[in-house]
């Protein structure tokens, strides 16, 4: 019988993160929150003066960075507390307090961008020549100047910034419903009762070899989602409307243009990822689905069967501690400096891997400049969890290296690139596991782990991206976004990709309710962009060895100091060429083909 879902107070401390590395006590956090609130004057004293000289602008930008670094640390602490248990009213209150202060600062500091944009043409270029220390801000200043045609009056920008908490309300409504209010019925299988939650379903039951448990838990999970479909649809519709209104107010041709601009990505690059992978990967994945149906002995393959293991008897459980050791070994190729970051993550409680009521679902890595990273996930004793952990450690290693070698303004790369270092770690883990033996069954198992990675990024998140594209197109034409519309759109996206290989049910159409990424701009498709890049780089590493690894480490250290295309080219990949996407898809196809052959040999 499955154990009950624990409360936060009941989970072992060793499975939680140590937030004392941020603030020793709640009192320390509250004191710093107030100090940060009062520090606004350190920046606002430059208001109205940025046209005086290059040195004044430099002093202002440095002061701004200093305050923002402290503010983000305060905000990170509140955010992490909220995600570890969204049902805790203290966590909710702390998050609200932090949000109020950060919103106030954001509003007060809008004068910086406004005054820079109001300078005469050529002024910034002259400042850069006159003040060498401004060079570190050159890239961010030029990106800002690129937004000049879409900027509003200083007064309007300040008002919009002051409303950031309001603008974030749709996402918070979604999270409150998902983490604090939504409940699911327990299920009974073979006389045993199993509690269902977001975490237990997505980390355990969805990949369970027991077909009855997998399907009955999905039914319970779907009933819980169904009860909130109209509320979640209203929240998402409000988020979409907000983005559409802002794009029109600022004068963008479309909401997609507005959301792609900070990613430094063209419409062509965006469409190439969505179109190429969907059209060219679908035949391979339909073949994989048919294999799964055959091996599992199913008359019908449903959406909830897609993650069922093909060889559960050769998928031994792995403890969190064992996974940490395996990941460290796998990432040893990245050298001592990177390895020290990984070791610290696993030994100094950077990772919260407990499962408890109210905990945020999925997994993420929170990296705040000036502090070490924190990783959230819910551990289940399977290798998929190890790949997820390696993925999040990839974010930590990347952003901590970037912080060591770049000033804060240049530490974080474009969202288009952000998933490449994390997916690279998953590929390195697979390479390591495969190197352990020539056994065909082991190789088959490793391929299945790799296909889980591609399923997550090239299918789950990519099809989220396709849904986003259709939703934004609809919204730009002033068409309503409702629960029925979202369900129908998601159903169309799934059926277009899977075809006859999958029998689509109404429950599967509720998948749009599961991910928070829809509230994060055009984020979902970037998982596929990142994995496309890492797949290409991994193949280069196989061919060249250490020189390719060394180039990759330099890319990580470059942080956000270059565009995503420049970072990719540093690693030896041209992401502006659709051939790179096709090469990655062909690799996935080769994995599916090899897996089918290995199962046929056994038959």
pLDDT digits 0-9 by tens, 68-103: 999 999 999 999 999 999 999 999 999 999 999 999
Structural element, H or E, at residue 501: none
Percent of the chain clearing pLDDT 70 (strictly above): 99
Lowest mean pLDDT among 449-458, 489-498, 564-573: 449-458
CB 541 within 8 A of CB 549: yes
Q: How far apart are CA 529 and CA 547, in angstroms?
A: 23
Q: How far apart are CA 341 and CA 339, in angstroms?
A: 5
435: pLDDT strictly greater than 70: yes
DSSP-H helix ranges across 460-576: 461-476, 483-498, 524-544, 546-558, 564-570
pLDDT digits 0-9 by tens, 316-339: 789 999 999 999 999 999 999 999
Average pLDDT over residues 159-182: 90
Percent of the chain clearing pLDDT 90 (strictly above): 90
pLDDT of residue 1: 39
Identify the DSSP state of 435: T
- Residue in 189, 227, 221 with CA at minimum distance from that of residue 206: 221
Residues 6+ apart with CB under 8 A from 450: 426, 427, 430, 591
Identify the DSSP state of 560: T
pLDDT of residue 603: 60
Query: Mind listing the domains of the chain with CATH numbers?
Result: 9-167 (1.20.140.70)
Sign, Cα dihedral of 259, 263, 264, 268: negative
Structural element, H or E, at residue 502: none
Q: How far apart are CA 580 and CA 535, in angstroms?
A: 9
Cα–Cα–Cα angle for 330, 335, 339, nearest 5°? 65
Q: Find the length of the chain.
A: 603
pLDDT of residue 123: 97
pLDDT of residue 439: 85
pLDDT confidence of 314, banded at 50, 70, 90? Answer: confident
pLDDT of residue 382: 84
Q: How far apart are CA 148 and CA 119, in angstroms?
A: 11
Helix (H, G, I), strand (E, B) or coil at 413: coil
DSSP-H helix ranges across 373-460: 383-405, 420-434, 440-454
Average pLDDT, the chain: 95
pLDDT digits 0-9 by tens, 503-556: 999 999 999 999 899 999 999 999 999 999 999 999 999 999 999 999 999 999
218: pLDDT strictly greater than 60: yes
pLDDT of residue 315: 77
Structural element, H or E, at residue 352: strand 351-352
- Residue in 316, 302, 594 with CA at minimum distance from that of residue 444: 594
CB 270 within 8 A of CB 256: yes
pLDDT of residue 317: 82
Burial of 231 (0-12, 13-18, 19+ CB in 10 A): middle
Pairing of strands 364-366, 374-376: antiparallel
CB 7 within 8 A of CB 357: yes
pLDDT confidence of 309, banded at 50, 70, 90? Answer: very high
- Residue in 277, 210, 225 with CA at minimum distance from that of residue 578: 277
Which is higher by pLDDT, 360 or 226? 226
Q: How far apart are CA 305 and CA 233, in angstroms?
A: 26
C-alpha distances out from residue 106 to 158, 172, 559, Å:
8, 19, 24
pLDDT confidence of 2, banded at 50, 70, 90? Answer: very low
Average pLDDT over residues 578-592: 97
- Residue in 593, 562, 500, 581 with CA at minimum distance from that of residue 271: 581
Residues 6+ apart with CB under 8 A from 323: 383, 385, 386, 389
Helix (H, G, I), strand (E, B) or coil at 187: strand
293: pLDDT strictly greater than 70: yes
Structural element, H or E, at residue 106: helix 89-108
- Which strands make up the sheet holding 364-366, listed edge to edge? 351-352, 374-376, 364-366
Predicted TM-score (pTM) of this structure: 0.92
Sign, Cα dihedral of 444, 450, 456, 460: negative
Q: How far apart are CA 123 and CA 116, in angstroms?
A: 9
Provide the 10 A C-beta neighbour count for residue 329.
14
pLDDT confidence of 383, banded at 50, 70, 90? Answer: confident
pLDDT of residue 57: 98
Provide the 10 A C-beta neighbour count for residue 286.
17
167: Cα separation from own chain's centroid: 20
- Residue in 579, 551, 553, 576 with CA at minimum distance from that of residue 563: 576
């Amino acid at each position: 019988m499955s154990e009950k879902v624990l409360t936060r107070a009941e989970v072992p401390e060793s499975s939680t993160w140590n937030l004392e590395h941020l603030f020793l006590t709640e009192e320390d956090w509250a004191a710093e929150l107030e100090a940060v609130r009062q520090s606004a004057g350190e920046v606002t004293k430059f208001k109205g003066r940025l046209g005086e000289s290059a040195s004044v602008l430099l002093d202002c930008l440095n002061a701004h960075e200093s305050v923002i670094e402290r503010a983000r640390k305060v905000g990170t602490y509140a955010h992490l507390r909220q995600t570890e248990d969204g049902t805790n009213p203290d966590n909710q209150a702390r998050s609200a307090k932090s949000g109020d202060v950060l919103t106030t600062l954001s509003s007060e500091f809008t004068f910086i961008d406004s005054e820079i944009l109001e300078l005469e043409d050529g002024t910034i270029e002259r400042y850069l020549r006159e003040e060498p220390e401004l060079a570190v801000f050159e890239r961010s200043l030029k990106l800002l100047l690129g937004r000049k045609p879409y900027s509003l009056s200083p007064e309007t920008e300040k008002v919009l910034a002051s409303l950031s908490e309001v603008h974030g309300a749709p996402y918070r409504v979604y999270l409150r419903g998902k983490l604090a209010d939504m409940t699911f019925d327990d299920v009974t299988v073979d006389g045993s009762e199993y509690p269902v939650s977001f975490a237990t379903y997505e980390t355990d039951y969805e990949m369970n070899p027991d077909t009855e448990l997998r399907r009955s838990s999905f039914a319970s999970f779907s009933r819980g989602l169904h009860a909130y479909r109209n509320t979640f649809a209203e929240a998402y519709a409000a988020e979409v409307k907000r983005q559409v209104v802002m794009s029109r107010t600022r004068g963008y041709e479309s909401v997609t243009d507005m959301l792609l601009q900070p990613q430094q990505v063209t419409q062509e690059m965006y469409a190439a990822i969505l179109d190429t992978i969907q059209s060219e990967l679908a035949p391979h994945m339909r073949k994989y689905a048919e294999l799964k149906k055959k091996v599992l002995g199913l008359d019908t393959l449903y959406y909830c069967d897609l993650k069922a293991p093909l060889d559960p008897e050769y998928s031994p459980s792995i403890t969190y501690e064992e996974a940490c050791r395996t990941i460290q070994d796998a990432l040893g190729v990245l050298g001592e400096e990177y390895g020290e970051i990984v070791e610290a993550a696993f030994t100094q409680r950077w990772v919260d891997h407990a499962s408890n009521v109210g905990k945020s679902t999925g997994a993420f890595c929170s990296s705040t400049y000036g502090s070490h990273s924190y990783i959230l996930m819910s551990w289940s004793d399977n290798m998929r969890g190890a790949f997820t952990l390696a993925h999040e450690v990839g974010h930590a290693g990347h952003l901590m290296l970037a912080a060591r070698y770049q000033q804060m303004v240049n530490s974080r790369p474009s969202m288009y690139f952000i998933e490449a270092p994390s997916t690279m770690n998953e590929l390195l883990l697979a390479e390591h596991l495969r190197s352990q033996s020539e056994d065909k069954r082991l190789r088959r198992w490793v391929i299945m782990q790799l296909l889980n990675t591609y399923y997550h990024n090239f299918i789950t998140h990519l099809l989220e991206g396709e849904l986003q594209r259709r939703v934004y197109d609809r919204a730009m034409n002033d068409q309503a976004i409702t629960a029925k519309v979202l369900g129908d759109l998601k159903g169309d996206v799934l059926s277009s990709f899977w075809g006859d290989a999958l029998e689509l049910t109404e429950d599967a159409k509720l998948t749009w309710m599961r991910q928070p990424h829809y509230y994060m701009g055009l984020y979902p498709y970037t998982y596929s962009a990142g994995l496309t890049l890492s797949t290409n780089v991994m193949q280069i590493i196989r061919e060249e060895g250490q020189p390719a690894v060394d180039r990759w480490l330099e890319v990580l250290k470059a942080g956000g100091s270059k565009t995503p295309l420049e970072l990719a080219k540093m690693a030896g990949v041209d992401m502006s060429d659709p051939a790179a996407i096709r090469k990655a898809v062909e690799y996935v196809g080769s994995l599916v083909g090899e897996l089918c052959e290995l199962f046929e040999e056994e038959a």
